[in-house]
Amino acid sequence: MEFKLRPWHIDDLENLVKYANNFNISKNLTDAFPYPYTEEKGKWFIEMATSGNPIHIFAIDINGEAVGGIGIHPQSDVMRKNAELGYWIAEPFWGKGIMSKAIPQMVEFGFRTYDISRIYARPYGHNIASQKILEKNGFVLEAHIKNNLYKNGEFVDELIYAIRK
């Protein structure tokens, strides 16, 4: 399925709320990505995503419709040679190979744009699909921390995958 990565814009708000307002997506992300996902949260997100310089959080666009997001987040202090990769895609587009193609684009963007040597992602232990996508794209499991995170009233495992320059 064809897609492009592009900056978010306020015209994406309706689609963002439509696709992000899904418990099956929220359960795999931090609490900063809430369920229910409101228009107010969407406006805040789009403002934040478009304020970076350079822009480093992109919409996943299919046929002019924002159906997900992917971003590279440079770290600071002792983690300054690292960036965290975060992503999500609307449930109707799961299993279509989109994220498997978007991740290498973001990895290339991250290493080209920032003075970093490592990009990491932190899927939850129950998110097997995300783990497989990262492994398919050359990320290596560096850590498996049991019951480290508290999400939706229960403890979940945190996995740390990384790829190095």
Q: How many residues does the chain have?
A: 165
Q: Reduced to 3 states, what is the DSSP secondary structure of residue 115?
A: coil
Of 30 and 1, more confident:
30
Structure tokens at 115: 């003075």
The structure's pTM equals 0.96
Pairwise CA distance, residues 90 & 77, whole Å: 34
For residue 85, the model assigns a pLDDT of 98
For residue 2, the model assigns a pLDDT of 96
For residue 73, the model assigns a pLDDT of 98
Q: Are 159 and 141 in contact (CB under 8 A)?
A: yes
For residue 26, the model assigns a pLDDT of 97
For residue 95, the model assigns a pLDDT of 95
Mean pLDDT in residue range 40-44: 97
Domains annotated for the chain, with CATH where assigned, are 4-164 (3.40.630.30)
Residue type, 129: A
Mean pLDDT in residue range 48-72: 97
